[in-house]
Structure 1
């Protein structure tokens, strides 16, 4: 396994193998960085494909890095833009720095650090059979080896463990939480439009209405095929 580091831009396409890690450090301008549409697309697996991935970090102004064959990615933004990074199923490390970032780790054992700003992380742990514990109000070290810190909004999919997922108390973004099987506990604060699916098992949804938010209704509560209920907490104003 080899690490190859590129700062700001590459000359041509950087190549590696599925066992290798590409480290891309961006610090040249306060611009956004994108990584979208890697080939092949991630599936939420435990490990990357044997072919690795091909894609491009797009930093604007010619500050780009094209790559092919790498299985694992490290992205570090030291410039402070609003980044949108969609990685693969490797063991990736994504650090957004300042700015409002979207950091999508997909499968594998990822380390995601949103830094300053209102940041969104995506993790697919559908391959992991153990218990997942995430609390966005502090750093979370997950049982599968993943790490999550400085994130205000989460999009997470888990499997059959007894999971405990706690959203950020600020409720600044629209969370999406799918916990699959197991007896899960999900704790959310009203203040945005969240989507929560407990899956099978005996699940608990704990919804907190901060003081001063006004009236709250629980509407359209119906029994679903999984033996639980589906409905909506309506806090007015999109909460």
Structure 2
């Protein structure tokens, strides 16, 4: 499955708008949709997860940020959710893998050499990819670590044993340099969620991603 192009939702948008942007992104061929919601109730997040699973409809991988419990509950409700993306303070990846099974996708945020070493120490098959960033300062995550830039990302990606997906303040012109630096893919948030025409922007992203060498795992 390709990891070339991820869209991570922005919970500052009304959910109806998020649903429309996800639909446009998937129609344009985004490879992975990640639902990221940092506030609200578990009940609301579950409802959003089920609703977006219907929008994605298996046309892209669909993962939920942080919440293994929501993935399990959504699956129990009949929704297709392919996995989870975990941060450093979330449930340990080994536990997520045991709970979600071998076929799930499990990603992990990593932005330091120590994180890479920890990822390498997990049993084989624990993680599918690493989310590495931020590349540039971004308003969607105000508490982000220092920006890596393309060169900093490249140094981490070269040292990683897993595919690395770049995230954080990425523009369309960054895609080719990041792929040249070793990115298996890129993840965008505001570039799509704040676009006046998300469908057109998603198509432009898809064209830019397709112009680079494919990054395929599993």
Task: Give the TM-score taking structure 2 as reference length.
Answer: 0.29
**Higher helix proportion (structure 1 or 2):** 2
> Which structure would you say has the larger Rg?
1
Question: Larger relative contact order (C-alpha < 8 A, sep ≥ 6)?
Answer: 2
TM-score (norm 1): 0.27
